[in-house]
């Protein structure tokens, strides 16, 4: 896994300095029974989808409201060496209402994905509004572009000392159980360093959004 952490810092800083950012996007849902992801409950309190023609904004919206994604890495297991290999990983791009766009991950060297990334840090990450109530409520099939979903490509890198506090806060507020994961697994904070973005939010094929456009989005 690439150890260097660069890029996206400006965006992160901008996000942190913009208190209005996503302020209305999501309100944390406290104490709603029956759910196990703490204060955060996108399925219950999902704000309206941004205009579909603003693909960068839709991408940031999807990245913020999703608590997990499917991360595809290149397999190193002998039976499937070199094949794409997707697994579900919990993630967070920031505390509710303060999304940075950066997908943070909490990883252990014991995970298959991490073994793969040690050989090849490239990965793609898929997140979909099918993970929320949005598509069910509107009757959109998960494969329909109306059920907005995004594919982010990049490299998975460890986050450095400076960024680790934000990564930890972002993840633990949405995945409180992480605090209790066994320390013997050597969990560490990582992120996807996004290089390419595809947004499927309407008919006519995927829209391309650049990381610059993606991180440039602010919510108020
Ligand atoms: C992130 O990706 C960009 C573009 O490929 C690259 O220049 C940069 O070094 C990467 N950053 C890290 C921390 O790997
Ligand atoms: C840590 O990472 C952030 C975000 O990528 C970057 O802005 C910062 O310069 C890095 N800090 C150090 C000490 O490398
Ligand atoms: C960044 O956002 C501003 C204000 O919304 C916009 O005018 C500008 O074109 C955007 N730049 C990029 C690279 O998306």
Q: Is the pTM of this model over 0.85?
A: no
**Nearest CA-CA partner of 126 in 164, 89, 165:** 89
Of residues 48 and 9, the one with the higher pLDDT is 48
The predicted pLDDT at position 45 comes to: 61
Counting from 1 in the atom list of ligand 3, the atom nearest the Cα of 213 is: 14
Evaluate if residue 7 carries a pLDDT over 50: no
Residue by residue, DSSP assigns 128-196 as EGGGSSHHHHHT--TTSTTS-EEEEEEEEEE--HHHHHHHHHHHHHH-GGGGGS-GGG--EEEEEEEEE
What does residue 197 show for φ and ψ, rounded to 5 degrees? Answer: -135, 130
Give the pLDDT confidence score for residue 47 in this predicted structure. Answer: 84
Give the model confidence (pLDDT) of 157-211 as tens digits.
999 999 999 999 999 999 999 999 999 999 999 999 999 999 999 999 999 999 9
69 with 88: CB under 8 angstroms?
Answer: yes
**In angstroms, rounded to a whole number, what is the distance separating the alpha carbons of residues 188 and 175?**
15
Percent of the chain scored above 70 by pLDDT?
Answer: 79
Task: Answer yes or no: is the C-beta of 14 below 6 A from any ligand 1 atom.
Answer: no
How far does residue 102's CA lie from ligand 3's centre (Å)?
18
Task: Let me know: does 103 contact 69? Beta carbons within 8 Å.
Answer: yes
d(CA 48, CA 129): 12
CA of 176 to the centre of ligand 2 (A): 26
Binned at pLDDT 50, 70 and 90, residue 24 comes out as very low
Residues of the chain above pLDDT 90, percent: 77
Whether 15 is in the pocket of ligand 2, judged by its Cβ within 6 Å, is no
Q: Is CATH 3.10.20.30 the classification given to domain 2-215?
A: no
The domains of the chain are located at 2-215
By DSSP bridging, strand 104-107 and strand 84-92 are antiparallel
pLDDT tens per residue, range 11-22: 333 333 333 333
Residue nearest to atom 3 of ligand 2 (CA): 9
Where does the pLDDT of residue 219 fall: very low under 50, low under 70, confident under 90, or very high at 90 and above? confident
How far is it, in rounded angstroms, from Cα 189 to Cα 169?
A: 11
Statement: residue 28 has pLDDT above 70: no
CA of 95 relative to ligand 2 center, distance in Å: 20
Residue 41 Cβ < 6 Å to ligand 2: no
């Amino acid at each position: 896994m690439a150890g260097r952490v660069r890029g996206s810092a400006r965006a992160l800083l901008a996000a942190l300095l913009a208190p209005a950012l996503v302020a209305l996007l999501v309100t944390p849902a406290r104490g709603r029974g029956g759910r196990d992801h703490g204060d955060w409950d996108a399925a219950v309190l999902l704000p309206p989808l941004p205009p579909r023609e603003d693909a960068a904004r839709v991408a940031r919206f999807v990245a913020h409201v999703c608590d997990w994604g499917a991360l595809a890495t290149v397999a190193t297991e002998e039976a499937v060496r070199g094949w794409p290999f997707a697994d579900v990983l919990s993630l967070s791009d920031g505390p509710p209402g303060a999304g940075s766009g950066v997908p943070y991950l909490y990883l252990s060297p014991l995970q298959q994905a991490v073994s793969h990334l040690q050989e090849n840090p490239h990965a793609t990450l898929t997140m979909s509004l099918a993970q929320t109530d949005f598509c069910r409520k509107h009757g959109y099939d998960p494969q329909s572009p109306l059920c907005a979903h995004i594919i982010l490509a990049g490299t998975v890198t460890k986050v450095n000392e400076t960024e680790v506090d934000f990564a930890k806060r972002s993840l633990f507020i949405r995945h409180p159980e992480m605090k209790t994961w066994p320390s013997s697994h050597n969990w560490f904070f990582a992120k996807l360093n996004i290089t390419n973005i595809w947004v499927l939010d309407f008919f006519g094929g995927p829209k391309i959004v650049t990381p610059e456009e993606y991180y440039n989005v602010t919510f108020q």
